[in-house]
């Protein structure tokens, strides 16, 4: 029987709320911190305790999970004056599940060791649906012993879990995933726009395509949302721009050129400038249509 842990949880956004809920359902006790307390209400209603700071959330925890928006947020909630490492007891684990910088993950690991603690970087992919259904893929970097101690927690939140290597390697694996996502979003949106402008029945076309060689989880899930003009965020454009920036930063460090990432960042930044940053990444269809002076239509309800 899996050990029941005292868990500090920081971040109850689109992904974090569902993920924390799965741990709560598995019988772990939660102490929760979020900048906006109301977003933690569903967890508090099920018995979680509230903390006023990340430090307080960590004070009696065996492990603290963080999933926040940007690297500067990760740095603040873990390394800041009221951060996790100021309160986490010796022997505890801090596990950052945000998509962040590999170099920051390495710094956190070094700081954790100075506190006689362990650190893991464990970003996820699978979007809001994967978070709700506990089918996320989880890329884990850091100490192998720490990974093994938290493996049951990862299995409560996800379906596919991989220990990728030492500190920062979870982030590197996730960024490689985001390179693939950028390409997939282009292919889904461009093919849908092509089908519309060619005069096809786009709904019937999509049903056939998802069953063939061009089918993918993104085509099946996001393609259907695109046909409904459903641009609600499973993953925010604002956050994807952050991820693409991290990818480009790593490309410069590794001295490789990946032009597709640069184009994706440019188009998504143009959408952000038009106030569309809080839409889901599938809203790229509107941007691509406008480049040709076209209008993307709703094809299903």
Please identify every residue annotated as catalytic.
174
Residue (of 215, 193, 218) closest to 299 by Cα position: 193
Which burial class, exposed, middle or buried, applies to 239 when counting CB atoms under 10 A from its CB (0-12, 13-18, 19+)?
A: buried
For residues 71-94, one letter each, b for 16 or more C-beta atoms within 10 angstroms of the residue's C-beta and e for the rest, the string is: bebbbebbbeeebbbbbbeeebbb
Cα 55 to Cα 240: distance, rounded to the nearest angstrom:
28
| CA 93 vs CA 25, 88, 142, 198, 274: distances in Å | 21, 8, 11, 54, 41
């Amino acid at each position: 029987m899996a050990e029941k842990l005292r868990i500090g949880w920081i971040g109850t956004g689109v992904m974090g709320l569902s993920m924390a809920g799965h741990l709560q359902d598995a019988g772990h006790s939660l102490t929760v911190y979020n900048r906006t307390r109301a977003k933690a209400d569903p967890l508090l209603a099920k018995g979680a305790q509230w903390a006023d700071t990340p430090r307080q959330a960590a004070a009696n925890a065996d492990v603290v999970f963080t999933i926040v928006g940007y690297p500067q947020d990760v740095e603040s909630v873990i390394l800041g004056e009221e951060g996790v490492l100021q309160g986490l007891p010796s022997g505890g684990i801090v596990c950052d599940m945000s998509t962040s910088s590999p170099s920051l993950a390495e710094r956190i690991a070094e700081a954790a060791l100075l506190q006689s603690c362990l650190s893991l970087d464990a970003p996820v992919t699978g979007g809001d649906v994967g978070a709700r259904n506990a089918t996320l893929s989880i890329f884990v970097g850091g100490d192998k012993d720490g990974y093994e101690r938290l493996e049951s927690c990862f299995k409560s939140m996800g379906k596919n879990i991989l220990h990728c290597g030492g500190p920062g390697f979870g982030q590197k694996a996730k960024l490689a995933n985001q390179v693939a996502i950028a390409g997939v979003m282009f292919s889904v949106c461009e093919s849908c726009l092509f089908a519309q402008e060619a005069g096809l029945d786009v709904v019937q076309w999509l049903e056939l395509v998802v069953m063939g060689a061009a089918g993918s989880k993104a085509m099946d899930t996001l393609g259907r949302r695109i046909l409904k003009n459903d641009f609600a965020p499973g993953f925010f454009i604002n956050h994807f721009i952050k991820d693409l920036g991290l990818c480009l930063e790593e490309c410069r460090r590794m001295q490789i050129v990946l032009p597709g990432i640069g184009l994706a960042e440019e188009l998504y930044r143009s959408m952000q400038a038009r106030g569309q940053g809080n839409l889901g990444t599938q809203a790229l269809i509107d941007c691509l249509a406008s480049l040709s002076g076209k209008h993307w239509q709703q094809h299903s309800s």
